[in-house]
Amino acid sequence: MILNRMNLKIRRTTILDPHPGLVIASLHFQEPYPLVNKIDLLSLATMDLLIQFSYPSLSGYRKFSISFTMIWSYGEEISFTLGPAIPLTYEDAKFIPMAEVY
C-alpha cells in the first residue's frame, strides 16, 4: 500500500513556526530518495503535511506553497516552488474541502 511505502521512506518530519500565520512543515526522505515522477507518493506526503500541520493552524484566509529540494548526483541541492500559492480557505475564511485542494 502507498501509505506504508511513504512511511518507510520518511526519515523525519520537521515543523517550524517562525511567526503567527507561517508554518513550515517538511518531510525528509531516506535514500534512495523518491523521484519527481512518484506523483502518488509525493501527493500523499503533501496532503499528510497539510492535514497534520497546516489545517490545525488555520485562522482567517490562508494559502500554502509546495516546495521541493532536489539533490543532484554530485551532492548539490536545488530548491524550487511548484506554481503559485494554493488557497486553503475562501476569502471569507471558510475551509475549502480537502478533496478540492488535492
Q: What is the pLDDT of residues 89-101, one digit of tens each?
A: 888 888 888 777 7
Average pLDDT over residues 15-40: 81
Residue % of the chain over a pLDDT of 70:
94
Mean pLDDT of the chain: 81
Distance CA 48, CA 87 (A): 16
Calculate helix-pair angle for 2-9, 39-49, nearest 10 degrees. 70
Cα 60-41-37 angle, rounded to 5 deg: 110
